[in-house]
Structure 1
Amino acid sequence: MEAPPKCFYKVNWDAAFSKSGGSIGFGIIVREHEGKFMATKRVKREGFSDSLLAESIGALHATLFVVELGMRKIVLEGDSLQALIKSIILKFELWNSAGMIISNVKQHLCTFDSWFVNHIRRTTNGAAHMLAKSSLELVEDKAE
């Protein structure tokens, strides 16, 4: 895993679906430029079955989390190629629910001093995925 530039924070997120359906979990991990964990957040929501919408909402939760933490320079990473590459990086607009969420993510990203968005392989995003899976058991959101 590549470290972010000095003075930047790396923010990884992922989404996981429950096997029984109906709920989705989000995992967010924030690391500083030397790879040290700074914060994590797990979120559970009900009623989603669309993976692109789920990944888009995960990106929004990740962005809002670092806003709450007061971080001004971030590298946002996820393993959803469609949500990230087409919608955020290439500025491809989606005219659906996921597109509206991605539009909101873009608005929040513009408030940072500096930001980058990277697509990473699912195997590289294992820690965020494990948090997302464990969040399916939550009763309420948890930030640490």
Structure 2
Amino acid sequence: MAATEGMIYKLNFDAAVSMDASASGVGVIIRNERGEVMAALSSRGSAVMDSEKAEVLACRQAMEFAIDAGFADLIVEGDNSTVMKSIVSAQTDWSRLGNIYDDIRCLAGRMRHMEFQGVRRSANGVAHSLARFAKHISEDIVWLEESPPPALEALFLDSIAIGT
């Protein structure tokens, strides 16, 4: 699967943390301007105690996934405002997660076109569905140019919301 030259794709990512903190999940969805699924990922992560760490790790994994899948023009959307603001901040981040934010900015520098945008949780339903599903799998699952079954309902709701 190759990304089309000059087309800008939208990548949504999310993390889900289990109540008992035994695992986390990462969900990533990349769509074209018509809302069609180009690539999606569900990945089980290690135990994480706080949502900021889970979200910033999810963003880094989403960026790596997009690069590996051949995307170079992206608008990246996430629903954790702290994470999204930290990624675009020009200030050096000396926090415990600063090196991960640096990794994300470094990955973004490899892109031809890159924007980061914060979205409401309600606008991130597909990625959230994939992240929740990921907590219960043992190996990463990737879908290319097909709608991921764990997110069909969320994709349908998105299509109604945008009128396609």
Question: Is the Cα contact below 8 Å between 1:22 and 1:49 reproduced in 2?
Answer: no
Query: Which residue of the partner structure matches residue 126 of structure 1?
Result: 125
Cα 1:125–1:115 shift into 2, 3 Å: same
Q: Which runs of 5+ in 2 are unaligned?
A: 1-5, 144-164
Moved more, 105-114 or 39-48: 39-48
Q: Distance in 1 between matches of 2:35 and 2:136?
A: 27
Question: Is the Cα contact below 8 Å between 1:14 and 1:28 reproduced in 2?
Answer: yes
Query: Which residue of the partner structure matches residue 146 of structure 2?
Result: none
Structure 1 residue 19 displacement after superposition: 1.8
Structure 1 residue 28 displacement after superposition: 0.2
Scaled by the length of structure 2, the TM-score of the pair is 0.80
Query: Which residue of the partner structure matches residue 3 of structure 1?
Result: none
Matches within 5 A, 1:1-144: 7-85=7-85, 87-144=86-143
Report SS of the residue matched to 2:97.
helix
Q: Distance in 1 between matches of 2:95 and 2:76?
A: 22
Deviations 1:68-127 (A, max 9, x none): 011110000000100111x11233433233221111000000011111000000011011
Q: Which runs of 5+ in 1 are unaligned?
A: 1-5
Moved over 2 A (4+): 90-94
Larger radius of gyration: 2
Report SS of the residue matched to 1:97.
coil
Structure 1 residue 48 displacement after superposition: 1.2
Report SS of the residue matched to 2:59.
helix
- Cα RMSD (Å): 1.2
Cα 1:83–1:93 shift into 2, 3 Å: farther
Deviations 1:9-51 (A, max 9, x none): 1000000011222211010000011111111101111221121
Identity of aligned residues (%): 28
Q: Distance in 1 between matches of 2:33 and 2:99?
A: 31
